[in-house]
């Protein structure tokens, strides 16, 4: 199993790489559009600020390559958010526009600090190959201050003072708001399922 991880200066590349290698995958780190376009499957990690991440993707010529990528694509944490049309982070940041909707800041709640940081239980909305074999009480590790819109792309949710789209899908593109590489058996199963998706 071979998987390409985008190394574009705005992602937790090393931890994702090590998690995939523990599953027996061959990991390629890439930032060249030609190499990315030819990948068997692609992971878009992300940590930090959405505007900076999008600036990096555009500067490297990767935004159009990702948008046209025809095989399995997985966005992780900020990488999931980048799949949507725009975000309030940074004022008004246009993103990859692969899934309809706007990412907004988590609403303030005196009982729930922002960012959402820690373990939350997943509630699976519908069957999907990425979620195959997950336990009904699966938990995942989240670190985020912005939340994706809860719409037709949502296939699993968490609850943090309201619904948090934890896993989304549109065609060959999936996203995890949480960090599968830090989510123990739940995350390992999701990454293994992604590796086993037909390319």
Residues with a known catalytic role: 77, 179, 181
Distance CA 152, CA 71 (A): 21
Backbone angles phi, psi at 139, to 5 degrees: -120, 150
For tokens 């930090």, name the residue: 48
Q: Which residue has the tokens 């998690």?
A: 19
Q: Which strand (E) or helix (H) includes residue 103?
A: strand 99-105
SS3 113: coil
For the chain, helix (H) and strand (E) counts, in that order, are: 6, 14
**Look-up of token digits 């505007």:** 51
Whole-angstrom Cα distance, residue 194 to residue 74?
Answer: 8
* CB distance 48 to 78 below 8 Å: yes
| Tokens describing residue 109 | 């709640």
């Amino acid at each position: 199993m071979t998987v390409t991880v985008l190394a574009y200066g705005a992602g937790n590349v090393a931890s994702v790489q090590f998690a995939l290698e523990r599953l027996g995958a061959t990991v390629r780190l890439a930032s060249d559009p030609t190499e990315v376009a030819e990948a068997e499957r692609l992971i878009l990690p992300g940590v930090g600020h959405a505007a900076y991440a999008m600036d990096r993707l555009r500067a490297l010529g990767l935004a159009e390559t990702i948008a046209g990528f025809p095989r399995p694509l997985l966005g992780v944490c900020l990488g999931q958010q980048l799949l949507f049309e725009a975000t309030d982070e940074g004022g008004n940041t246009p993103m990859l526009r692969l899934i309809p909707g706007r990412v907004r800041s988590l609403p303030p709640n005196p009982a729930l600090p922002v960012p959402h940081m820690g373990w939350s239980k997943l509630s699976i909305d519908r069957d999907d190959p990425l979620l195959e074999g997950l336990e009904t009480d699966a938990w995942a590790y989240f670190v985020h201050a912005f939340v994706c819109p809860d719409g037709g792309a949502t296939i699993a949710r968490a609850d943090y003072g309201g619904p948090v789209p934890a896993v989304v899908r549109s065609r060959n593109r999936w996203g995890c708001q949480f960090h599968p590489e830090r989510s123990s058996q739940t995350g390992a199963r999701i990454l293994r399922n992604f590796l086993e998706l037909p390319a």
